[in-house]
Structure formats: C-alpha cells, structure tokens
Amino acid sequence: QDAVVVAIDGPSGTGKSSTSRAVATKLGLRFLDTGAQYRAMTWWMLTNEVDVDDAAAVALASDKPVLVSGTDPLNPTITVDGVDASGPIRTQEVTAAVSAVSAVPEVRARLVELQRTACAESAAAGGIVVEGRDIGTTVLPDATLKVYLTASAQARAARRSGELKGVPGAGQMSVEATREALVRRDAADSGRKTSPLAKADDAIEVDTTELSLEQVIEAIVTLVDEKL
C-alpha cells in the first residue's frame, strides 16, 4: 500500500493546525506545519538583522539557517540552528513580517525542498498530513487527498485571538485588530507571485464557520477513508 499524503491548505484561523494534528494522530500519520517553517525563517532574519523588506537580502540569506521540523503530531517542534524556536515563531513581530519573507522565491524553493523530503521520509511510517497555503497546488500535487479549509473572517479572528491568549510574547490584541491583521496577511499571501494561497482544482473545500473542531476532524478522516 502506498503512503497516505493529506494536504491541508487555507487562510489563517481556519483551524488548520489543530485539525491537521488531530487527523494525523487519528490516522497514525506524521505531521508537518509548513507555516512554522516560514515563521522560523522569518525569526532567523529578524534575529540576524536582515531587512525583511529587502527581498534581495532575504534571498541571499535564505540558505543560512538550519531548520529541523519534528513530525510527531503530538509534539511538533522546530529548531533553528539547533535552538528550539517553537515559542519565538509565534510572536506578533514574526507574524507581521512573515508574508514578506514567504513571498521571496528563494525562500520558497528552499522550504519546498525540505517539505518534499519530509514527505518522502514519512513513507516508511505510513504517510503524512502537511498543512500550509500551497501544499495541494505546488508542494505535493499528487497528494492522496487535498482539503481546502475556509471560514468567515469574523470566525477566524475570534479563533486566532483565543489561541494567542496563552502564547508568551504574542501580546494582547482585540478580535477587531486580529481580524484586520489576518485579512491583511491573507491578501498578501493570496496576491504574491510565487505559489500564492489558492485552492487546488481537485481540493475539497470544507467551510468550518459553523462546524466544531471535532466535526471538521471527522469529515476529513471520512474523506481519507473514502480514498483508500
């Protein structure tokens, strides 16, 4: 039997991470958060004083950080040059800068290669759930199942500001400010030239606005079962 590859894409605040981790756990698959890799790259640029709005400087530095993503869905970690960056990559400073860094083609080429390697390495374990923005369109066009998660901007902002409450350094932002930041980031991610946020033609769209996390997880597990 071939490895199972599940691609989960969509804008921020649709519950992609929680959903993807739970689906991977239920199906006994590995898990990869590609957003965390773009965030880790951004954190490295900020820490090393690379001007994130200077695309040429970002491109030049993009092969310097050593990124290692753990693929255990129960304990996803990311290290940068051997340092655990799981906390620092969630700060507002990183969130505000990540769209600029992720629009740089050299950054994307490097991370897409890491993502395809992680996918190949997961085959022995049965497969992987990969979440991001361009997984179904660009990174893994032959995925077993492609899901595109959506939700209203209001629902997404409410979820995101709830999630950030417990994160040190994430700061306190109202739902309204969170909504504005999120809409701005989605517009940047959808509007960039190199593999923008987009639904693949063969992806199944799931609108999570009125669904509980448990319902979304069940829907995706059922879709995977149907493919096997």
Annotated binding site for ATP: 10-18
Q: Per-residue x/- mask for ligand C5P, residues 85 to 124, rule CB under 6 A?
A: -------------xx--x----------------------
Total site size for ligand C5P, rule CB under 6 A = 14
**Residue 38 near ligand C5P by CB under 6 A:** yes
Tell me whether residue 103 or residue 225 sits nearer to ligand C5P (CB atom).
103
Q: Per-residue x/- mask for ligand C5P, residues 186 to 205, rule CB under 6 A?
A: ---x----------------
Stretch that binds ligand C5P, among 33-41, 59-67, 146-154, 205-213 (CB under 6 A): 33-41
**Residue 185 near ligand C5P by CB under 6 A:** yes
Query: According to the 3-state scheme, what is the secondary structure of the chain?
Result: CCCEEEEEECCCCCCHHHHHHHHHHHHCCEEEEHHHHHHHHHHHHHHCCCCCCCHHHHHHHCCCCCEEECCCCCCCCEEECCEECCCHHHCHHHHHHHHHHHCCHHHHHHHHHHHHHHHHHHHHHCEEEEEECCHHHHHCCCCCEEEEEECCHHHHHHHHHHHHCCCCCCCCCCHHHHHHHHHHHHHHHHHCCCCCCCCCCCCEEEECCCCCHHHHHHHHHHHHHHHC
Binders in 127-146 for ligand C5P, by CB under 6 A: 132-135
Tell me whether residue 114 or residue 221 sits nearer to ligand C5P (CB atom).
114
If you count them, how many residues does the chain have? Answer: 228
Beta bridge partners of 129: 6, 31
**Residue from 6, 7, 12, 200 binding ligand C5P (CB under 6 A):** 12
**Residue 34 near ligand C5P by CB under 6 A:** yes
* Shortest distance, position 225 Cβ to ligand C5P, whole Å: 25
Interacting residues with ligand C5P (CB under 6 A): 12, 34-35, 38-39, 98-99, 102, 132-135, 185, 189
